[in-house]
Amino acid sequence: MTGWQFWIDRGGTFTDIVARRPDGVLVTRKLLSENPSRYADAALAGIAEMAGVAPVEAVKMGTTVATNALLERKGVKVLLLTNRGFADLLRIGNQARPRLFDLDIKLPSMLYAKVAEVAGRVAVDGTEIEALDEAAALATLRSAKAEGVEAVAIALIHAWKYPAQETRLGELAAAAGFAQISLSHVASPLLRLVPRGDTTVADAYLSPVLRRYIDQVAAGLSGAKLFFMQSHGGLAKADSFSGKDAVLSGPAGGIVGAARTAAMAGFTHVIGFDMGGTSTDVALYDGAFERSFETEIAGVRLRAPMLAINTVAAGGGSILSFDGARLRVGPESAGANPGPACYRNGGPLTVTDANVMVGKIQPAHFPAIFGSNGDAMLDAEIVRTKFAALAAEVTAATGVLRSARELAEGFIAIAVANMAHAIRQITVQRGRNPADFVLTSFGGAGGQHACLVADELGMDRIFIHPLAGVLSAYGMGLADFLILREQAVEITLTPDAVDELQSVASMLESSAVAALWAQDVAAALIQTKQFVHLRYSGTDAPLPVTLADYTAMVAEFEAAHQRLFGFITAEKPIIAETVAVEAMAPGDAVVEAALSARTEGACVPVDEVQIFTAGAAHPAPVFERTSLLAGDKLNGPAMIREANATTIIEPGWQAEVTLRNHVILRRIIPRDNAVVQDISRADPVLLELFNNLFMAIAEQCGTVLRNTAQSVNIKERLDFSCAIFDAEGGLIANAPHVPVHLGAMGESVRAVIRARRGSLKPGDAVALNNPFAGGTHLPDITLITPVFDETGKVLRFFVACRGHHADVGGLTPGSTPPFSKTLDDEGVVIDNFLLLSDGVFQEKAFRDILAGAKYPARNPGQNVADMQAQIAANATGVAALNGIITRYGWDVVQAYMGHV
């Protein structure tokens, strides 16, 4: 190694830098991402500060430039070219309704500034129906260029397979003077024009912005190699980095860093917990990276491989507020400028300030980088003043007396619950138990909350790397060089189809390997993997399996389908939707030095501070991270300080330092159930916590229903709703599902109460669709499950879900005939039917009802399968409700049912 290497994560609040000096020693820096009075670009400023005039060998960077451009709608002006008659296709989209409860509907803005139709059409078999009108297309392109349009996105029907017309339009766009031309068969060579077009437009919109930033960085590096982290977790040379692959550039580095460092410690089943200034990213690593292939970010649909990262708006900079009844955390963030109140820049109260208030962030043990000169400590006084004023406001509005510290701890508890919910979404809702994983905590704010998040999830181990405060940057240095190639095939999987799949994979592999060669990667280092994305015919849930022989692929697909969705459908054909190839070359090897073991005595704290946690003040020793040696054990409450992070060891937890200088936190005292003293008045902290808890349970039910249902209506159109009701049928909480369901479902619950009061028992569930008992139309079948106390005699709740079944009989398929005259014309009427009795599914009786109507159901097997999915969804809700009763006690839960 002849020069410096820099691994950089340019985040929304901080820019983190890990540098490897020519002698191999790692050094770190943390700078505010925006500090216009001191520097124009944080990454270049950090490089100049650390390396001076010494040569720089390589820079590996993750950046939020593309993400910010998307969020703030600051990309370039784009012209979309598409076929005649399809100008509005991307505006129409997939008819998803993401904010059904908004009274003032605001459609998301489109990324393209102009759209133009071109004459030219290719049929599904490749036949040219209409020749391309090149003269008209060129005139359109030149006109757009004259109007200031900077980029062109071209998306034509069937171009994923027959791209000739798209390619020719690209040539015409170049002739018209456009530098940024995104072709859909290149940006997303997959079936379905809407997501392919969306991805192509996003690529055209973001790439020029990204290119300008790349050029700016490259100009300041004097010829050093420059690489960027892609959303899928692999590095690419700067000249190969495109907008569609950049939107998760920064977070991807964190997940790579978490997985690689955890593997060094011997952990292969980990949950990455990256809490930064603006948001928290969580991801699961179970021996391999999980990727999603369709993602929506800032209202924009993208179909490109990305690490499966779940983001929640709860970071150190999340703004704290009080709405007169409840405390709120986020989703707005104070960002880097003005930042939290303690940053000395006139900012609002944030999660960071709450940690200052309770003593978990100590200004004396935090980098002094604030103020006009960048050398002042955090301002604790303004934090105390603002929290005192807010505490007085809360008391005046609610009558609940909370001190400033208690209020701050309440805000932290809400943020922790929000982050824990994000982790449940990637574990519990996918059939995994968080307790089976190790929580890998990193990010500037992760260590302050890791123990609390683990307690919320029942996890007992936390892994913290010595570079946890800058682990996203460290991940840039640990990442592999990776090229992913995909191609739609859309053929039925049979033994004879395997040769065709392998032929496509070989072509993709050659392309991917060539792309790595172009990045100066040695051929001997390149490794490849081949995959096929399989799905059942008539569904839209492809799962990746390793390309192998027919029998092995079917077995792997069925095992994955059973694990994720809870069923297989052996009689359905399996469709090979897409072939995908990964070509990978390992990045630079990093050897972490062994840590000396302590031979005598114990580590001596550098200070003792007061922290307020678990409702009380505790003396907490402060340990310097660099003074810890292998074998040291620190019991909580305690604090570990370091240059770029603070780790809080909560009461009941113990930290142990390993020979690799890793900190492993373990809970050594069993966690207690929560104790609430006064339930007569609604505490604003608990009101928000329980509101979020109840809603999260309903959302969890919905996820289970979506995953386990078989019909397209429920699994893909999401035509279902889940909710929780009290013992009298009053609505407690619902997920943001279909409003018409939620408005009527309570009446269905009350109809069951009237009909079966006193006769319901644990293990029962009642189905109905009768419009005279709160039903909507007959395809909407409601399942209602009672929740009893531990004796099985006292009714506490009802959990209910309503799903639109594809068909329940009637004059026409779909059960919504426009010319029906009686209810029987629409299909099977189900009224107060005991579908589950003592935990036993009454399948025969249910099939008899489906078959016994004047116009019986056409696919009773699918009705049965979807009702089993509804049973599973409600069972999830029952278990979750019993879980919060165990934690808080029935009196508290009952009180906050009413308060909510």
310 contacts 426 by C-beta, under 8 angstroms:
yes
Res. 148 pLDDT band, cuts 50 70 90: very high
In this model, does residue 214 exceed pLDDT 80?
A: yes
Res. 311 pLDDT band, cuts 50 70 90: confident
Task: Report the distance separating Cα 417 and Cα 327, nearest Å.
Answer: 13
Q: Are residues 259 and 322 in the same domain?
A: no
285 contacts 264 by C-beta, under 8 angstroms:
no
The two three-digit tokens of residue 605, written as one number:
């704290």
The total of other beta-carbon atoms located within 10 Å of residue 94's CB is 11
Is residue 385 in a domain? yes
Q: Which percentage of the chain shows pLDDT scores above 90?
A: 48
Q: Are residues 261 and 328 in the same domain?
A: no
Task: Report the distance separating Cα 702 and Cα 733, nearest Å.
Answer: 13
Residue 169 per-residue DSSP state: H
Residues 551-575 have a mean pLDDT of 85
Output the pLDDT for position 54.
82
Task: Report the distance separating Cα 648 and Cα 358, nearest Å.
Answer: 12
Output the pLDDT for position 678.
62
Residues 97-107 have a mean pLDDT of 72
Is residue 598 in a domain? no
Q: Are residues 351 and 255 in the same domain?
A: no
Sequence-distant (6+) residues with CB within 8 A of 781 are: 767, 768, 769, 802, 803, 805, 808, 830, 863, 866, 867, 870
Task: Report the distance separating Cα 441 and Cα 468, nearest Å.
Answer: 7
The total of other beta-carbon atoms located within 10 Å of residue 107's CB is 8
Q: Which of 250, 311, 199, 278 is nearest to 9 (CA)?
A: 250
Output the pLDDT for position 850.
94
Q: Of 526-530, 631-635, 812-816, 860-864, where does mean pLDDT reach its minimum? A: 812-816
The total of other beta-carbon atoms located within 10 Å of residue 277's CB is 26
Res. 680 pLDDT band, cuts 50 70 90: low
Query: What's the domain range around 835?
Result: 684-899
Residues 603-617 have a mean pLDDT of 92
**Tell me, what amino acid is at 81?**
L
Task: Report the distance separating Cα 295 and Cα 248, nearest Å.
Answer: 11
Task: Report the distance separating Cα 4 and Cα 26, nearest Å.
Answer: 10
- How would DSSP label each residue in 724-788? EEETTS-EEEE-S--HHHHHHHHHHHHHHHHHHTTT--TT-EEEE--GGGT--STTEEEEEEEEE
Is residue 475 in a domain? no
Q: Are residues 139 and 229 in the same domain?
A: yes
Res. 98 pLDDT band, cuts 50 70 90: low
Sequence-distant (6+) residues with CB within 8 A of 293 are: 303, 304, 305, 306, 533, 542
- Our count of domains for the chain comes to 4
Q: How confident is the model over 243-262, as pLDDT tens digits?
A: 889 888 888 998 999 999 99
In this model, does residue 41 exceed pLDDT 90?
A: no
Is residue 301 in a domain? no
In this model, does residue 1 exceed pLDDT 60?
A: no
Domain boundary among 358, 381, 408: 408
Q: If you average pLDDT over every residue of the chain, what do you get?
A: 88
Is residue 644 in a domain? no
Residues 585-606 have a mean pLDDT of 83
Output the pLDDT for position 679.
65
Domain boundary among 408, 438, 470: 408
Output the pLDDT for position 675.
60
Task: Report the distance separating Cα 408 and Cα 422, nearest Å.
Answer: 22
Q: Are residues 202 and 326 in the same domain?
A: no
In this model, does residue 18 exceed pLDDT 60?
A: yes
Residues 132-158 have a mean pLDDT of 95
Cis peptide before 860 (omega within 30 of 0): no
Q: Of 420-434, 571-585, 798-812, where does mean pLDDT reach its minimum? A: 420-434
Output the pLDDT for position 828.
94
Q: Are residues 354 and 205 in the same domain?
A: no
Q: Are residues 705 and 813 in the same domain?
A: yes
Task: Report the distance separating Cα 43 and Cα 62, nearest Å.
Answer: 10
Residues 422-440 have a mean pLDDT of 84
For the ranges 52-61, 428-437, 740-749, the one whose mean pLDDT is highest: 52-61
Output the pLDDT for position 495.
95
Q: How confident is the model over 755-785, as pLDDT tens digits?
A: 998 899 999 999 999 999 988 889 999 999 9
Sequence-distant (6+) residues with CB within 8 A of 545 are: 531, 532, 533, 534, 553, 556, 557, 560
Q: Which of 697, 696, 694, 689 is nearest to 875 (CA)?
A: 697
Which alpha helices (DSSP H) does 399-481 contain, by range?
Answer: 404-426, 446-457, 471-478
Is residue 572 in a domain? yes
In this model, does residue 376 exceed pLDDT 80?
A: yes
Q: Are residues 761 and 831 in the same domain?
A: yes
The total of other beta-carbon atoms located within 10 Å of residue 264's CB is 14
Q: Are residues 170 and 244 in the same domain?
A: yes
Q: Which percentage of the chain shows pLDDT scores above 70?
A: 97
Task: Report the distance separating Cα 132 and Cα 167, nearest Å.
Answer: 11
- The more confident residue out of 891 and 609 is 609
Residues 206-219 have a mean pLDDT of 90
Output the pLDDT for position 550.
96
Output the pLDDT for position 512.
92
126 contacts 161 by C-beta, under 8 angstroms:
yes
Task: Report the distance separating Cα 609 and Cα 621, nearest Å.
Answer: 6
806 contacts 814 by C-beta, under 8 angstroms:
yes
- How would DSSP label each residue in 497-557? GHHHHHHHHHHHHHHHHHHHHTTT--GGG-EEEEEEEEEETT----EEEE---HHHHHHHH
Task: Report the distance separating Cα 368 and Cα 361, nearest Å.
Answer: 13
Task: Report the distance separating Cα 423 and Cα 727, nearest Å.
Answer: 30
Res. 840 pLDDT band, cuts 50 70 90: confident
Is residue 601 in a domain? no
Output the pLDDT for position 575.
94
Is residue 164 in a domain? yes
Domain boundary among 389, 408, 427: 408
434 contacts 636 by C-beta, under 8 angstroms:
no
The two three-digit tokens of residue 579, written as one number:
């072939």
Q: Which of 119, 112, 171 is nearest to 144 (CA)?
A: 112
Q: How confident is the model over 223-234, as pLDDT tens digits?
A: 789 999 999 999
Q: How confident is the model over 329-366, as pLDDT tens digits?
A: 888 888 777 889 999 989 999 999 999 999 999 998 88
Q: Are residues 378 and 493 in the same domain?
A: no
- The more confident residue out of 273 and 38 is 273
Q: How confident is the model over 260-309, as pLDDT tens digits?
A: 999 988 898 999 998 877 778 899 998 888 888 888 877 788 888 889 88
Q: Which of 595, 239, 219, 286 is nearest to 432 (CA)?
A: 286
Residue 95 per-residue DSSP state: -
Q: Of 68-82, 642-656, 686-700, where does mean pLDDT reach its minimum? A: 686-700
Residues 51-78 have a mean pLDDT of 87
Output the pLDDT for position 202.
93
3-class secondary-structure state, position 606: coil
In this model, does residue 113 exceed pLDDT 90?
A: yes
The total of other beta-carbon atoms located within 10 Å of residue 98's CB is 9
**Tell me, what amino acid is at 687?**
L
First to last CA, the chain: 61
Query: What value does the CA radius of gyration of the chain take, rounded to a whole number of Å?
Result: 29
H/E run at residue 13: none
Q: Are residues 81 and 219 in the same domain?
A: yes
The two three-digit tokens of residue 234, written as one number:
């692999």
Output the pLDDT for position 71.
78
- The more confident residue out of 98 and 650 is 650
Cα separation values, 869 from 247, 499, 693, 703, 761, Å:
35, 37, 22, 10, 21
Q: Are residues 737 and 833 in the same domain?
A: yes
Sequence-distant (6+) residues with CB within 8 A of 180 are: 76, 150, 151, 152, 204, 207, 208, 211
Output the pLDDT for position 674.
62
Q: How confident is the model over 123-142, as pLDDT tens digits?
A: 998 999 999 999 999 999 99
